[in-house]
Chains A and B, each alone.
Chain A
Amino acid sequence: MSDSTAIARGAAAEAAHPHPGEHPPYQRHHFETVGQQFDATNFAMWLFLLTEVMFFGGLFASYLIMRNWYYPAFVEGSHQLNIGWGTANTAVLIISSFTMAMGVWSAEMRKKGMLLLFLSLTWILGMAFLGIKTIEYHEKWVKHHVPGLNWSDSSFLNPASDPEVHKDYPGDKPLAPEMAQKAEMYFFLYFAMTGMHALHMIIGISILTFMIIRARQGAYTTGHVTYVENFGLYWHFVDIIWIFLFPLLYLISRFPNS
């Protein structure tokens, strides 16, 4: 092992353990030290996040090209999104990142009660995010803005037919039919991107549920923080994806009076 931080962490873990010769129960048999185990799994998580970046990268690349081609449709499509809900969700996720970070800290400090509290808060915030997303998706369904399944161009052919949005964006002009069609492309990307993100949230919340049960049994407060920390990385990553999605999807040309 050449990595000094790993050795430091490993040493800390060893020191905490009364019998340095024996392995702590959470050390997998094929690792030489706890430090190596932490180091390896942590590195693996970062690599996994790298693959996730490439995964979303494909979506972002498609988005960029389509937005460049069909900018007017993307603007009016974006105006259909509810900026209030979007902002609320951004806040929810940022706070959940904070509670997650606090969760990792409590695990490191071996505070079981705190850990449970913060994990549960993160869980609740994650569910809140999905709840808000459901409200938004439902709104799209009602307004016939679900591409392929329940779609109508009318909000874009004639923005005045949609008084709620038109009130906020009186500058939105009717789009030519072939451009109005492209709003469907915008919503296709909206659903593909937020849907893929929501899928990651659902996976995250499932793991979180499992972790809360394990945390109640005291699994993460005996010095074995790897699992919590790696999950934290994943959670932050999913947040960061949202931080990119929010401006790209919600904030296209938001000048109310233009």
Chain B
Amino acid sequence: MSHISPVLWQFLVKWLTNFQLFPPEASKVAPEMDALYFFMVLISLVGLTVVVLLIVSFSILYNKRRHPVATQIEGSTLLEATWTIIPLGLFLVTFVWGALLYFRIYTPPANAMNIYVVGKQWMWKVEHPGGQHEIDALHVPTGRPVQLTIISQDVFHSFSIPAFRVKREAIPGRYTSVWFEATEPGTYHLFCTQYCGTNHSQMIGEVVAMTPDDFRKWLQGSTSGNSLAQDGERLFASLSCNACHNPSPSSRGPNLVGVYGSHLTLASGQTITVDDAYLRQAILNPSEHITQGYAPIMPTYQGQVSEEGIFALVEYLKHLDSDYRIQQTLNTTVLPANNEGRPAPGASTPNAPGEVKQ
């Protein structure tokens, strides 16, 4: 054994102890993804074997020494049809299977708890509804669907959790979303997979999946004192939004109680469903999102409110269904309830098709 150099030895030991072919399956969708993955590996192996077998056996059988004169063959329609239809069939199966999976991963269930994620060069900022802030880390409970609403404040990033088999681009200027349900408690990699500049490879972190009990403890231990909605309320007041948006009948802006999830008719005659993306647009580009019957007097808040601030405002408006006070989110450490009774907007807005459903 003394002949093996220590470096090589260490390397071999490392290899043999760490060898993996695929990452841990830690979410509900992971085994489904892997099933499709292995189905495709199987197809690939069969396809490759057929090609290699053909090449090898023909190379041996029709080697010049064994078969000195070639027999000219034009082709065969039957064979052409065979290797058109069989691959096409298999590809179509993977297409349908893949599409089902895709729709599943990008269509959050109505009872998912929402966590907000802002990407920036080069960190991930996570905002929990309870007001817990995290940087380059994400704590989630197991056994609960979790929906991430993601945005970038500068360039493209991509939020990737290999162990959960989910990934979604963080795009500047629009919300995207993805959901997962963690199954195995543990610590997993969080990567930015879209090249985003110098420290792209440092834009990593960890995802900690915890049992619901541990998660509750963690929420208690990490509370910042205010819930995200309370932050939003404070911001709402400090930006003087309530000067116009208030319940008084003479208010200059529409009353925002219960606005989230409702259907609005805009000044342009268009009917939309109010969701996160719409609210963000209405704050930043109000002139294009005037509710019918109101004057276009709202100023833009571009540059005055950060993406986290907008998330806070959105979270505040989501909970604003009775009064301009917040009751149900005062408690910052309780797991948000399963969105009981909240209408889930079915359709999506033209700005962000197919995204952001709560």
Contact = CB atoms under 8 A, between A and B. Distances in A.
B293 interface: no
Contacts of B287: 72, 175-176, 178-179
A178 B302 contact: yes
Nearest to A173: B296
B288 interface: yes
B251 interface: no
A177 interface: yes
Interface in B297-315: 299-300, 302
A72 B288 CA distance: 9
Contacts, number: 18
B222 to A, nearest CB: 37
Interface string B278-302: 0000001111100000001001101
Nearest to B300: A178
Contacts of A178: 284-287, 300, 302
Contacts of A175: 287
Q: Majority SS of interface residues in chain B?
A: loop
Chain A: number of interface residues, binned into ranges: under 10
A177 B288 contact: no
A176 B295 CA distance: 11
A176 B287 CA distance: 6
Nearest to B284: A178
B188 to A, nearest CB: 38
Contacts of B299: 176-177
Contacts of A72: 287
Interface string A174-191: 011111000000000000
Interface string A12-33: 0000000000000000000000
Of the candidates A72, A177, A178, the one having the most CB atoms from chain B within 10 angstroms of its own CB is: A178
B299 to A, nearest CB: 7
A179 B296 CA distance: 12
Contacts of A179: 285, 287-288
A72 B287 CA distance: 10
B98 to A, nearest CB: 29
A63 B69 CA distance: 63
Contacts of B300: 176-178
Interface in B97-126: none
A184 to B, nearest CB: 14
Interface string A99-114: 0000000000000000
B244 to A, nearest CB: 15
Interface string B121-163: 0000000000000000000000000000000000000000000
Contacts of A177: 299-300
A179 B299 CA distance: 11
B163 to A, nearest CB: 38
B3 to A, nearest CB: 63
Of the candidates A72, A176, A179, the one having the most CB atoms from chain B within 10 angstroms of its own CB is: A176
Contacts of B285: 178-179
B324 to A, nearest CB: 26
Contacts of B296: 176
Nearest to B285: A178
A121 B34 CA distance: 71
A176 B299 CA distance: 7
B287 to A, nearest CB: 3
A159 B96 CA distance: 55
Nearest to A72: B287
Contacts of B288: 179
Nearest to B268: A71
A176 B267 CA distance: 14
Nearest to A180: B287
Nearest to A177: B300
A72 B267 CA distance: 13
B257 to A, nearest CB: 25
A175 B299 CA distance: 11
17 contacts: A175-B287, A176-B286, A176-B287, A176-B296, A176-B299, A176-B300, A177-B299, A177-B300, A178-B284, A178-B285, A178-B286, A178-B287, A178-B300, A178-B302, A179-B285, A179-B287, A179-B288
3 nearest A-B pairs in the assembled complex, by CB-CB distance: A176-B287, A178-B300, A179-B287
Given A176-B300, A178-B284, A178-B287, 15 more contacts: A72-B287, A175-B287, A176-B286, A176-B287, A176-B296, A176-B299, A177-B299, A177-B300, A178-B285, A178-B286, A178-B300, A178-B302, A179-B285, A179-B287, A179-B288
